[in-house]
Structure 1
Amino acid sequence: NKEPAMATKKKGTGLMMVWTDVPADKEKEFNRWYNEEHLAERLRIPGFLSGARYEAVKGGPKHLAVYELENVAVLESDAYKKVRNNPTEWTKRCSPDVIGTSFIRNVYTLIHPKTLTPAVAESDMAPALQLGRMDVPAEIDADFNTWYNTIYIPNYEKVPGVIRGRRFRAATGTPTYLTFYEFQNPKVSESAAWIAQRDIAPETQRIRPHMRHAQGSPGVYVKTFQL
């Protein structure tokens, strides 16, 4: 009898997110570079569990690459540094930090949920995402995190079409917090069920006004490419 195949881990506690806008005349080659070379190059690095590309249908920047990492220490590994410090000729021409008119490269550590169930860890990259990049004043930080983790995300996770919500704290980059909703389609947050959750809890009306979103946030993204 054959042993059952081990499930592949696709999510860990780290996340690298690269957002960019690129000039229209460079988009075609930019997309080819990402899809034909760059994504695969990154996913060969140990600790890069999965990755996909997305485009904004609301908010921005337009282009987004999402890399699910075993943990943020992956980006300190010799394997990653070797690849990053020795870019290909194509990368030298097309990397978003070279041609992007905007460029955000943030690294995040998971803060909610505390641990991933096997079902979540083995789940695929979602068809659509809603991403909130935000800060709050220091004096409300503890209340904000408790509210977000125990009230705000659990309520939104009840909405049809929401796969799950995760929250991250920036290890590299700003703002401090990232809310990462996985959707079955990009219209979920336009639904009556989603909108009904916005003010359903009194605590929400007290805390949500303190959230300061980055430009382009919240953004809704659809998956455009995955290996």
Structure 2
Amino acid sequence: MSTPVPSPNPGGLFIFVELGAETTEAEFHDINEKEHDPPRMALPEFVGATRYRAIDGQKPTWLNLVSISDLSVIGSPPIVAIMEQRSEREAKMSKAFSGLERRVCSLVYDSLSDPSAPKVEAKPGVAVIVGLNTSDPDGLDRWYNEEHLALIRTVPGWVRTRRYKFVDGGLVGFMEGKVIPTFTTVSEFTSEDVLASEELKKAGSTEWRDKVMKDVTFIERRAFKAYKVLA
């Protein structure tokens, strides 16, 4: 079993975005910081957020990852009101996205709530995100809980690891038809140097890991660098 996470129904909102040709990066950040983010982050359930930029050469280029204390806020009257009142230029930008993937996920593990995991004060700068589907979710959990999480914590610069399970979401533009993974793991590190470390390679190359991968039907691995921490 994963370590219990204290909260009514905590989770994460993942928004992967590729800008349209009509939107510059400067406009994207300006709209987010002046119009999109403030009303959402004012809600008590939105307890943290980071905007990331891809460093792996893959698309989408941008990721907004929001920590939510209770997923019941998604679709609630305050969120609906925010959506209905958004500015004309935010609505125009959103319609122009060339690709978007939205994942609402429940939080099933957080190293901050795991008594066996060290608590690190360092500021995370990089997130490695692994999404996958498997025919043996119980086997996947055992591998994470009994081997993989401990190995990830040995990687120099490790700060935090969270695991999520998909609840709801959608795809827009060139993302349509993409597989949305059921399970998503986010591991945060202080520096992108970790991507070439022997410890990270070791964590992903054990016999048990190879056995677990035989039941995996889809997997994706992304690497992002923190662009702006909102809270």
2:23 partner SS: helix
> Offset of 1:90 from its aligned partner?
2.3
| Residues 123 and 32 of structure 1: CA distance in aligned 2, closer, same or farther (over 3 Å) | farther
Greater Cα shift, 140-149 or 108-117 = 108-117
CA distance in 2, matches of 1:121, 1:46: 24
Stretch moving more, 47-56 or 181-190: 181-190
Residue by residue, what CA displacement relative to the aligned partner does 1:63-122 show, whole Å, maximum 9, x if unpaired? Answer: 111111112112133222211232222221122xx1211111111111124982699999
Normalized per residue, the structure richer in helix is 1
* Contact persistence 1:35–1:225 (CA under 8 A): no
SS of 1:76's partner is coil
Question: What are structure 1's unaligned runs of at least 5 residues?
Answer: 1-11
Equivalent residue number for residue 71 of structure 1: 70
Partner of 1:223: 226
Normalising by the residue count of structure 2, what TM-score does the alignment of the two structures yield?
0.80
Corresponding residue to 1:128 among 126, 129, 133: 126
* Runs of 4+, deviation exceeding 4 Å: 117-125
Give the Å deviation of 1:219: 0.7
Counterpart amino acid of residue 195 in structure 2 = S
Percent identity of equivalent pairs: 20
- Residue 4 of structure 1 is matched in structure 2 by none
In the comparison of the two structures, how many residue pairs are matched?
A: 209
- How many Å separate the matches in 1 of 2:60 and 2:29? 15
TM-score (norm 1): 0.81
Q: 1:34 to 1:113 in 2, by over 3 A?
A: closer
2:211 pairs with 1:206: yes
Q: CA RMSD in A?
A: 2.7
Alignment CA distance shift 1:13-1:126 (3 Å):
farther
Q: Distance in 1 between matches of 2:120 and 2:102?
A: 25
1:116 aligns to what?
Answer: 113
Give unmatched runs, 5+ long, in structure 2. Answer: 1-8, 170-179
Shift of 1:130: 0.6
